[in-house]
């Protein structure tokens, strides 16, 4: 009987990690798409980045409840909503700077990526260290992109490979435990 319970707990733990892995990879891929949209169609990127803040909010909520379903719904909802609402206000502020001519289109995408990187990093302290790692990778990608624009896609590909390696390492560690 104890063996079955242990197997059920291990299977549940693997599922929680899988949910988090899928969400993190999806968020990273969506940020890559956002950078491309901002570079090629800046007018459309406004809505995209606002939607991305909502996607990050939803992703964070799913990760929290997949890891700790016993947490109180309203307290998690309040904290996550305030965090991502403030981020959405900052995104709108960046586009106000763009509309007034204080930023150009190329810079806007980098500033938004840096802003989302910071928001994801800070949200990771409450949710998951891997979410913080994603935030660091997003922020570093913006900084590296500012320095080396022509190699941006290689840097993002390296970041994606890094996330995949961390996910595989975590999965392997969970299986051996």
**Beta carbons within 10 angstroms of residue 102's beta carbon:** 11
Position 164 scores a pLDDT of 82
Position 16 scores a pLDDT of 63
CA distances from 98 to 12, 46, 95, 101, 145 (A): 46, 10, 5, 5, 19
Tokens 């899988």 belong to 18
- What band does 89 get if pLDDT is binned at 50, 70 and 90? very high
Q: Which helix (H) or strand (E) holds 64?
A: helix 42-67
Position 19 scores a pLDDT of 81
Q: How many Å apart are CA 136 and CA 129, to the nearest integer? A: 11
- Looking at residue 149, the DSSP 8-state letter turns out to be G
pLDDT value at 10 more than 80: no
Q: 116: burial class by Cβ within 10 Å (0-12, 13-18, 19+)?
A: buried
Q: Tokens at residue 16, please?
A: 């929680």
- What band does 43 get if pLDDT is binned at 50, 70 and 90? low
Q: How many residues does the chain have?
A: 177
Tabulate helix, strand, coil % of the chain (nearest 5).
90, 0, 10
pLDDT value at 42 more than 70: no
- What band does 119 get if pLDDT is binned at 50, 70 and 90? very high
Position 140 scores a pLDDT of 84
> Would you call 61 helix, strand, or coil by DSSP?
helix
Least confident window among 29-43, 56-70, 80-94:
29-43
Q: What is the pLDDT of residues 143-159, one digit of tens each?
A: 877 777 666 667 777 87
Q: What number is the average pLDDT over the span 127-140?
A: 86
Q: How many Å apart are CA 51 and CA 57, to the nearest integer? A: 10
- CA-wise closest residue to 58 among 115, 12, 108, 127: 127
- Report the chain's mean pLDDT, rounded to a whole number: 80
Q: What number is the average pLDDT over the span 65-93?
A: 85
């Amino acid at each position: 009987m104890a063996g079955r319970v242990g197997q059920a707990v291990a299977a549940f733990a693997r599922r929680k990690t899988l949910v988090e892995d899928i969400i993190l990879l999806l968020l990273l891929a969506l940020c890559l798409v956002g950078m491309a949209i901002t570079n090629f169609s800046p007018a459309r990127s406004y809505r995209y980045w606002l939607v991305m803040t909502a996607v990050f909010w939803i992703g964070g909520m799913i990760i929290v409840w997949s890891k700790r379903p016993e947490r109180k719904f309203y307290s998690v909802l309040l904290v996550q909503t305030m965090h991502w609402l403030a981020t959405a206000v900052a995104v709108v502020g960046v586009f106000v700077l763009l509309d007034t001519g204080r930023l150009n289109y190329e810079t806007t995408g980098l500033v938004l990526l840096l802003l989302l990187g910071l928001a994801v990093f800070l949200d990771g302290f409450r949710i998951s260290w891997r979410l913080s790692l994603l935030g660091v990778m997003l922020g570093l990608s913006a900084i590296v992109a500012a320095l080396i624009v022509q190699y941006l896609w290689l840097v993002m590909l390296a970041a994606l490979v890094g996330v995949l390696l961390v996910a595989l390492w975590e999965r392997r560690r969970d299986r051996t435990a």
